[in-house]
Structure 1
Amino acid sequence: MTPRTERQPQMSVEEFEQLERHAPETVWLEFINGKVQVKSVPDGNHSEIYMWLLERCMQLRPDLRLHPERGLRTEAYRRGRARADGVLVPKGSLKGRGEWAEADGVLMAVEITSHDSDTNRRDRVEKPDGYAAAGIPVYLLIDRDECAVVVFNQPEGGRYRHEEKLPFGATVRLPEPVNITLDTEPLKEFAD
């Protein structure tokens, strides 16, 4: 079997970016592990969870900004293109950056699971690896199917060395450089 890193991509990154530029506004595309993937458009509970996290970040770290649906260059050699549900960055650090920005300066990537058939592979397997390979210090997965929050950190060699999974309702500490503590009790309301 050919290792994952040696598989031939469906197309070049440049071809993907051209395809993505011409996709209808109702379709969000990503390029993960050399394959084009369609990202689900968020439902209401997904949006409410994002707003909850945005409010917490603004209250606890006013020096940072949580930007929605941000395109990032990920994976080894930045050959992937992931559209994170949110990226936490220092205020003003996205100024002048294009649609698919380098991940340098991103403190945390956020994904909120959708109820689709690709969630397990995309959000729980491929994106952690892509974000770790890009050197993003923290990956926060809000997993509605599992009613859990998963914090990944300590990226090294294309993987996160540390992963902590806690149920909705637990107090979750997002490690440095994020340094935020979240009371996740409100997430129980949006588990459906």
Structure 2
Amino acid sequence: MAVMTTERPQMELDQFRGIAMAAEREDVVLEFINGRIGVKPVPDGDHGEIIRWVSKRCMQHRPDLWLYAEQGLRVDRYRGGHAKPDGALARDGAFAGQGEWADPEPVLMVVEVTSYDSDTRQRDRIEKPVAYAEAGIPVYLLIDRDAGAVTVHSEPNDGRYESIATLAYGHEVVLPDPIGVTLDTEELKRYAR
């Protein structure tokens, strides 16, 4: 007996790369996660300020680390997914010689700042935590501008983060080991709409 499937074939990585290069000339950035294209708008000024803020705070407490902006990562070892987080915290030189899509192994934390678009819920709050946990990235920091809150995902295990803590802007947020930094998020209120 033949089994019929209704699944559509996933896009090939080379097809995605061609589309992504064309999109970079527009006002969107594309990502390829689990065989699907994700689209996010080009970051605005407040988005950039939030990344600067995270980078500065991490460097103040951990000068041995660097927040690499938009570093491509192979986030899903089993299905060929690729993502460009807003920031990837790793030791200096961690991505030397790796090319466009780096191994996530040296990444201690990824940072995402939500965009004001319709896909941010699915992309940043549902798909990326799974992809980053599957990749074994110890900490996923989500700065959620819609909610005015910061969510710290940690303790990746079996494709999910065991610990998830969300606090509103203005609270102190602990980035657990291997980061070991506490962030006072009061300044994030300046970048809220």
Structure 2 match to 1:118: 119
Structure 1 stretches of 4+ moved >4 Å? none
Deviation at 1:108, TM superposition (A): 0.3
Question: Please, what TM-score do these two structures have when normalized by structure 1?
Answer: 0.91
1:121-160, aligned counterparts within 5 Å? 121-160=122-161
Q: CA distance change for structure 1 residues 25 and 123 in 2, over 3 Å: closer, same or farther?
A: same
Q: Secondary structure in 2 aligned to 1:52?
A: helix
Deviation at 1:10, TM superposition (A): 3.1
1:29-68, aligned counterparts within 5 Å? 29-68=30-69
The answer as to 2:21 corresponding to 1:13 is no
Amino acid at match of 2:190: E
- Structure number with bigger Rg: 2
Q: Secondary structure in 1 aligned to 2:85?
A: strand
Structure 1 match to 2:92: 91
Report the number of matched residues: 187
State how far apart, in whole Å, the 1-side matches of 2:176 and 2:119 are. Answer: 28
Contact 1:76 1:130 in 2 (8 A): no
Contact 1:139 1:151 in 2 (8 A): yes
Structure 1 match to 2:4: none
**RMSD value, Cα:** 1.7
Deviation at 1:40, TM superposition (A): 1.3
Amino acid at match of 1:103: P
Contact 1:9 1:35 in 2 (8 A): no
Q: CA distance change for structure 1 residues 144 and 36 in 2, over 3 Å: closer, same or farther?
A: same
The answer as to 2:173 corresponding to 1:190 is no
Amino acid at match of 1:20: A
State how far apart, in whole Å, the 2-side matches of 1:130 and 1:117 are. Answer: 20
Q: Which runs of 5+ in 2 are unaligned?
A: 1-6
Matched-pair identity in % = 54
Contact 1:9 1:33 in 2 (8 A): no
